[in-house]
Amino acid sequence: MVQDTSESCYNTIRESWYVIDRVAKEPNGLSILSKRFKTCKKLSTTSNLKDFLGSIYMEVAQYNDPHENTLKVICDAIDGAANKTDVLGQILEGVLAYDWEKLPCYELEDQSETSIGWAWQVDHMLLLLL
């Protein structure tokens, strides 16, 4: 679905998983990722960030409202930032375009049974989409 909307958006999202892992391996990498993605708490693993991003992509793919064309909004933001920032900056622009409330920070570590089940589904669906 993402690939049908924008090939470059699709490729940026795919690349972002590798970039997240690469940055996390740097000294203070998880802190850097926490700051870049405005997390309310410092990330303890990259899985928290990937689950958060994956849930956005899956929600958009599942509930993409044709009137709001949410997927196109996210991809337009990601693609529009291509010449202005790096891959992580592009992904953040997609998150900001998706989040109409413009939260000061994002709470990523919800460990309820529902969120754990959702994260599992997201991980497996992303494998199919990417």
Q: pLDDT tens-digit profile of 60-94?
A: 877 766 667 788 889 999 999 999 999 999 999 99
CATH code, domain with 73: 1.20.120
Lowest mean pLDDT among 5-9, 33-37, 64-68: 64-68
- Which residue, among 90, 3, 86, 4, has the nearest Cα to 53 in the 3D structure? 90
DSSP conformation class of 11: H
Q: pLDDT tens-digit profile of 93-128?
A: 998 888 766 778 888 765 555 556 666 666 666 666
Q: Which domain holds residue 50?
A: 2-129
The pLDDT of residue 69 is 73
H-state helical runs in 25-85: 29-36, 46-63, 70-80
Backbone angles phi, psi at 75, to 5 degrees: -65, -35
What is the total count of domains within the chain?
A: 1
Q: What is the CA radius of gyration of the chain?
A: 14
